[in-house]
Chains A and B, each alone.
Chain A
Amino acid sequence: MRQAIRWICADRHRPWVALVMSGWLLFMGARYAQFASLAAPGYEGCQRDPPSCEGRDIYMSIWTVLELGEGSYVIRKISDPVPVVGEPTGLSVGDRVSVTGRYDPERQVIVEEVRMLHRWRRLKEALSIAGLLGVMVMLPFAYTWRDGAVVERG
């Protein structure tokens, strides 16, 4: 094992290993992008072929509330907004919610079954930014550039 790691990390193998590692990441990324759109089609996939999705449960984990209506609301994550039928009591625009719902092909909406309001999401995002900034501030104190390579200080 130790020998294998030394071989992978040797300078003379670096260009080839870098090529293999980058190629693997590109392959994985392309494959996952295809998998994500096909395996769990979600609302957008159901819209392409509504009858095939009748009664199917759709999971939407941590989406943002865009609009509130009478007995309905609209949420969005990456792609187009999704209309959800469900009482929006306790929701405000900008809130983060997770929703499990059934696709209704006639009305082309998601009928809410379970909803979770992520009340502390903004605090979590703020803490994440703080943690990331902390590490970024540490970088120039921990590393420097010497002889064409990054080296640890101290």
Chain B
Amino acid sequence: MADLVTHVAAGLLVKALSRGPHLPTFLVGCVLPDAVSRVPTMGMTMLMHEGVPIPEVLIAGFYVLHMPLGIVPFCWLVASLFPEDVRPYIWGNLVAGSALHLALDVLQSHFGAGYLLLYPFSTWHWEAGLIGPEDSVFAAPALALVAGGLWWARRKGRG
């Protein structure tokens, strides 16, 4: 995973350039794969290392929320909390934000396996290997400034 400042800034940049609606929902989509898979697994792992009896299968199970066929239904569950008339747009923006997240993540290279993009239909895994796992930290401040500046300019332009 790239860091979440990079993910949020990339989302802000896309929305500022496309001038599309539902910006907050798109940004939630940009952090959702990590927020609902990495955060719980890291939390449970820390508790397990402190002696709390947490089954490893439970921890592994959360990883599917960082896969395309796991995050799409999860986005629907979140969208189902919204009124019917906006639900398709909320779902669409959550899925689009999550897709941007996963697209940025597969640019990285890790030791061993890449990302399982077609699971559970295939165990084929892939990542582009273009950037190291921590390279995004160098891009994050500049990306955040550019994205924030563009978004601010767009807001001001709207009056």
Contact = CB atoms under 8 A, between A and B. Distances in A.
A33 B34 contact: no
A130 B7 CA distance: 11
B112 A61 contact: yes
B95 to A, nearest CB: 10
A31 B68 CA distance: 15
**Is chain B's binding surface mostly helix, strand, loop or mixed?**
helix
B154 interface: no
List of 10 A-B pairs having minimum Cβ-Cβ separation, nearest first = A59-B112, A131-B4, A29-B61, A142-B24, A127-B3, A33-B57, A120-B134, A21-B73, A33-B60, A9-B87
B137 A120 contact: yes
Contacts of A139: 24, 28
B134 A119 contact: yes
Interface of A: 5-6, 8-11, 14, 17-18, 21-22, 24-25, 27-37, 39-40, 59-62, 76-79, 98-100, 114, 116, 118-121, 123-125, 127-132, 134-135, 138-139, 142-143, 147, 149-152
Given A18-B80, A25-B70, A62-B110, A135 B28 contact: yes
Contacts of B45: 77-78
B6 A127 contact: yes
Contacts of B87: 9
Contact of B82 (A99, A132, A151): A151
A143 B61 contact: no
Contact of B7 (A27, A76, A131): A131
- Range for the number of chain B residues in contact with chain A: 35 or more
Contacts of B145: none
Given A21-B76, A132-B35, A151-B82, A59 B113 contact: yes
A120 B80 CA distance: 38
Contacts of A125: 3
A43 to B, nearest CB: 13
B5 A135 contact: no
Given A116-B111, A135-B8, A152-B86, A123 B134 contact: yes
A38 to B, nearest CB: 11
Contacts of B7: 131
B111 A32 contact: no
Nearest to A150: B81
Most buried by A among B22, B92, B133: B133
